[in-house]
Amino acid sequence: MTTRDNRGRRLVTVDTGGPDDVFPGASVTWLHVPRGGYGYVLPVDAEVAAHGRAPSTRVTIVVATRSGRRVKRSVDAANLRWKK
């Protein structure tokens, strides 16, 4: 899948192994596993800030905390899905 911007230019993406390619500015859902592995996954709305050049690398995302602050987190690309 090739992702293009509103001018038709090809965007650089990270291949997540399927149609869920990630590019800066994309709205995604982060599948967060809380520390301690309590056996569940929390879906968190996020926006991609940056990513590494190689496929299947870590991606920097921006998420909102409970207090409303926006913080950056570095996550594995396999834990991101397109926001539906």
Q: List the domain range (segments joined by +) for residue 45.
A: 1-84
Q: In this predicted model, what pLDDT tens digit does every residue of 1-30 receive, in sequence order?
A: 456 666 776 665 555 544 446 778 888 888
Instruction: Write the CB contacts of 42 (distance below 8 Å, at least 6 apart in sequence).
Output: 31, 32, 33, 34
Number of domain units in the chain: 1
Q: In what order do the strands lie in the sheet with 80-82?
A: 70-76, 58-64, 42-51, 27-32, 80-82
Q: In this predicted model, what pLDDT tens digit does every residue of 54-74 receive, in sequence order?
A: 656 788 999 999 999 999 999
Identify the pLDDT of residue 56: 61
For the question of whether the overall pTM of this predicted structure is more than 0.75, the answer is no
